Amino acid sequence: MALTREDLENDALRKQYEGLRDHVPLVPEEQFNASLESTLAGWNPAEDLWVFAYGSLIWNPLIHFVEQRRALLHGFHRRFCLRSRGARGTLDKPGLVLGLDFGGCCNGVAFRIAAAKARHELKMIWRREMVLGSYAPRWVHLACDGERVRALAFVVNHAHPHYAGKLPADELTRILATAGGSLGSCAEYLRETVECLTASGIHDPHLLRLRAAVERHCAGA
């Protein structure tokens, strides 16, 4: 089942994780709201707001934006390094989702949100990405068609218990090929990301190799 805009408006992910709060670290409402306000303090409300997408936000953004561009971020790379015990996995069999980790560079997509809608749209993103505290929002600079753009990116929180770091290739392949949760399988998540990146003209050799390995595993090869 895909995440929808209505889910975000209804704060469905928080409600889902409420039932798992003894096993997953749910961020209290007060801390959640304070994090949003602290990040918004770094934005000029007279200007449109850019958000950097590198995973599922590319192929299922669920936000209202006025423009999207290919973007390059230096100093970070895309990696399957966050455990998922609900959306793409279970308590007994955690899956993995992408995070933005330190080092290297990352090609992705930048979404421009109109200034008048930025606060509400960012709250929708917060309800999607920040309920468990797995990410640390950070203002970064992107290269977009030769232009330098200041944007918000969601970097992994190394102190979070869901942070898995760099896993061995065989373990990573096995998890992505076998785990799934309320929003679908990890294999589907990987496939959608690769296909959307490719459609956007972005070639990610690591994810392409990983998709091939997962497909071989699923085929029993």
Active site residue 121: no
Q: Which is catalytic among the residues 6, 129, 147, 215?
A: 129
The tokens describing 204, both together, are 């990610």
Of 35, 61, 44, 59, the C-alpha closest to 150 is 44
Cβ atoms within 10 A of the Cβ of 41, count? 7
**In whole angstroms, how large is the CA radius of gyration of the chain?**
17
Of 187, 191, 158, the C-alpha closest to 172 is 187
Residue entry with tokens 């200034």: 115
Three-class DSSP labels, 34-88: HHHHHHHCCCCCCCCEEEEECCHHHHCCCCCCCEEEEEEEEEEEEEEEEEECCCC
* Residues with active-site annotation: 129
